[in-house]
Amino acid sequence: METWLVFITAFGIALIFLIIAASRKNKKKRRQPEKTIQTYLSYGDFISAGKLYLRQKNYVEAANLYFRTPLDKRPLFESIVQQELGPKEAQLFWIKTGRRFERSDPERAKIAYLLAGAYFDVIKMFIDRNDTNTVIDLVKYIPPKFQEQTVRKLSQYSFNRGKYRISSELLRALGFVDEADAILAVGAHDYQAIEQPGVSASIYGELGRQDLVGESQEERGERALAAGRIEEAKEAFKQAIKAYDDSNQPKDALRVEKRLEKFVLLDKFRDYAAAGDIESAEEMIQEISDAFPALATSDLYAEIAVVLERNGKFSEAVNYFDKAADLTNNPLKKQSYVNALRRLASLIAAQRASGEGIATEDLSEPCPVCRRPIAKGQKIASCPYCHSIAHYSHLVEWVKVQGTCPICRRHLKTDDFKTE
């Protein structure tokens, strides 16, 4: 073998050994910090562990470790972040930490944003959460020379998202009372326009405009009445009367009082329905419709149906829900009544499957077991052979003991009952 070839071969082998040695050394170096971090953590030295995480650029673990650090040690940890990363990188570190915790842990996000001096971001986070108290509390952290500019931007941000109260309170915190009231007025008007008179009334109340509170509450009452929410309507009209009285508008207060007096008709109707006096309740429907044109007649029939269903009179409830569905033009209400009809059909089918039925009227023939009258609404069953009707529970007990029909004496099992 020639000399030059031997030389090249030896040089190649030596180079390979050098590469292997260097690779092992690098691996050892990479493993060493991990072992050191664990050692520091085992002794509770979060500061040194955090410094190593930062040098490794493992910023997520460094941030997590910061929040594990005892409160009295955190200022030292913060100074380490500043030293290791420099001012700009340190600010970016805390902003990224804040964004990472925004959804999962707002309190940690708040601390990180404040450390970064990201006042707009931290307050915006709580605006999005509708946390007015925290928003106003955070204003004090904004340096005075940036305070007005930042607060105005945040107020505009809130206003653009329909968060009028927060927008107003931000300006009020800096003493801009007139601007704050103007924003509330706009908010009240917008809520009125989008058919939320209750919210509108609340905002007008904050502005001290009791006359407009009365109008908003009256509008809320009319809308509740049209939707069949009777109790809400009554409460709204009562609030309207109080607001008109407070704003020295006796004529408007008297007008709403007279309207409220008509609710006696609705109370009477509901009393009849609850007592099971369906005929009397139904007779009042026309009178109520004349007194309350905004109240849909379908709601009254539906209310009777609900009472009948509650009392177990499913077949009769079907009739009234059917009337309600025919009378309404509101697609959502119609669908709710159709759903009720389906529900009742299932209940009736379940009753029949279990050997139960309901008497739809007072029967002329007494129960053949107990010899007492069978009243409307009572559970009944009949013999599949002679069709004699008895109280359901009485016939069940009779068949269990006797095994036959009490009238035709044919052999029976409880599974043979045919409901009426």
- Nearest residue to 248 via CA among 219, 214, 218: 214
- Nearest residue to 396 via CA among 374, 408, 411, 381: 381
Model pLDDT, residue 420? 45
CATH 3.30.70.640 matches 360-420? no
**In the chain, where the domains are located:** 1-31, 269-353, 360-420
pTM of the predicted structure, to 2 decimals: 0.47
- Angle among Cα 157, 163, 168 to the nearest 5 degrees reads 80
343/336 Cα distance (integer angstroms): 10
Return the half-sphere exposure (C-beta side, CA atoms, 13 A cut-off) of residue 63. Answer: 23
Model pLDDT, residue 96? 92
CATH 1.20.58 matches 269-353? yes
Model pLDDT, residue 130? 87
Task: Tell me if 401 sits within 8 A of 419, measured CB to CB.
Answer: no
| Cβ neighbour number for residue 129 with a 10 Å cutoff | 12
Model pLDDT, residue 187? 63
Can you point out the beta strands (E) in 303-404?
357-358, 379-382, 389-391
Model pLDDT, residue 194? 36
Low-confidence ranges of the chain (pLDDT < 70): 1-8, 10-12, 14-15, 17, 21-35, 181, 184-213, 347-358, 360-361, 415-420
DSSP 98-127: HHHHTTT-HHHHHHHHHHHT-HHHHHHHHH
